[in-house]
Amino acid sequence: MDFHGKRVLITGVAGFIGSNLADRLLELGANVISVDNLFNGRLENLDIALKNKNFEFHKGDIRDLNFLLDLFKDVDIVYHQAAFTSVPQSVIMPNNCNDVNVNGVLNILNAARRMDVEKIIFASSSSVYGDTPTLPKREDMRRLPISPYGVAKLASEAYMQVYHQVYGLKTTSLRYFNVFGPRQRDSPYSGVIAIWLGRIIRDDDLIVFGDGKNSRDFTYIKDVVQANILAAEHDAPGEILNIGANLPITLTELAKLMLKITNKEHLNIIYTDPRPGDIIHSYADISKAMELIKFKPQYNQEQGLKDYFKWYINKYEIELQIN
């Protein structure tokens, strides 16, 4: 697709994924209109985008329908990335999570419908599968979320499908599997790779919740951004697509790989109690996305980790040697 002249709106733009997506869309020539309430996002993530004349940032909340109606005027594509994104916090504050992740999604859909937006691409999550034993996860299998966050994403996907069936909106949900890369926050509620990178830099041992046999399909941000671009280029209305690397790794293997890459093999891996809401195994079957939007991941975990660490070292001028 030629993005030149297209008006593309990103919600949650100051967050990890939204800001990377904005940079890529601007490179492709799109006009990017964007929104974030800065609950978890940071303006620092927009340092490249804000210098681009084709980028517009609005501080605001997706729970405010009137604000969205103004913003959605003449918009072609909406990328809905804004969310209450912490699984552990959703266990503590389920209502807040529902408010943003379900009511917020309904607002987005209603605003898009009223303002004749052509397409909505929604950031869903592998958390909808919960702890069902079948691996890899296929889109048509049973979903049994084990956190309020997972329930909210499942409800939102269903709304996306219904708004396609009932109102003809072109909606596509992308179920991301554990994304990592530049701009991911190092906080107790972040992804494990960002947390462990912070610990490696501080020369602290790595802490694993559970016995380390849990596995994840860690997916590099550049592949997730590419999936979003492809979802704009290829129509998959009313569909739900897994977006993963298709390469499961246990947490112990990941910890060892990170220590090896960073020359920090003297650090220990410490095992503690599992966290409520954490899934045991997660691994994506991506054949549907390969078929419908021609998705093909380019980064395995080692390549993604190295690319991420190099970006981090450069950005924060850290002394860390990468193998």
Ligand X SMILES: NC(=O)c1ccc[n+]([C@@H]2O[C@H](COP(=O)([O-])OP(=O)(O)OC[C@H]3O[C@@H](n4cnc5c(N)ncnc54)[C@H](O)[C@@H]3O)[C@@H](O)[C@H]2O)c1
Site residues for ligand X per CB under 6 A? 11-12, 14-18, 35-41, 61-63, 81-85, 100, 104, 123, 125, 176, 178-179, 191
Q: How far is the CB of 266 from ligand X (least distance, A)?
A: 29
Of the pair 31, 37, the CB lying nearest ligand X is at 37
Side chain identity at residue 279, one-letter code: I
Q: How far apart are CA 117 and CA 166, in angstroms?
A: 15
Q: How far apart are CA 87 and CA 199, in angstroms?
A: 21
Q: How far is the CB of 178 from ligand X (least distance, A)?
A: 5
Of the pair 108, 264, the CB lying nearest ligand X is at 108
Of the pair 100, 232, the CB lying nearest ligand X is at 100
- Listed in order, strand segments (DSSP E) in 108-227 are 119-125, 170-176, 179-180, 206-209, 215-216, 219-220
Q: How far is the CB of 64 from ligand X (least distance, A)?
A: 8
What is the pairing mode between strands 215-216 and 249-250? antiparallel
Q: Do the Cβ atoms of 218 and 209 come closer than 8 Å?
A: no
Q: How far apart are CA 88 and CA 243, in angstroms?
A: 22
Of the pair 248, 264, the CB lying nearest ligand X is at 248
Of the pair 47, 270, the CB lying nearest ligand X is at 47
Of the pair 100, 279, the CB lying nearest ligand X is at 100
Q: How far is the CB of 268 from ligand X (least distance, A)?
A: 26
Q: How far is the CB of 120 from ligand X (least distance, A)?
A: 13
Question: Which residue carries 């034993």 as its tokens?
Answer: 133
Q: How far apart are CA 65 and CA 246, in angstroms?
A: 37
Of the pair 100, 259, the CB lying nearest ligand X is at 100
The phi, psi pair for 175, rounded to 5°, reads -90, 100
Question: Which residue carries 């891996």 as its tokens?
Answer: 269
CA-nearest of 279, 18, 27 to 129 is 279
Q: What does DSSP assign to residue 118?
A: S
Q: How far is the CB of 26 from ligand X (least distance, A)?
A: 17
Q: How far is the CB of 137 from ligand X (least distance, A)?
A: 13
If residue 109 lies in a helix (H) or strand (E), which one and from where to where?
A: helix 104-114
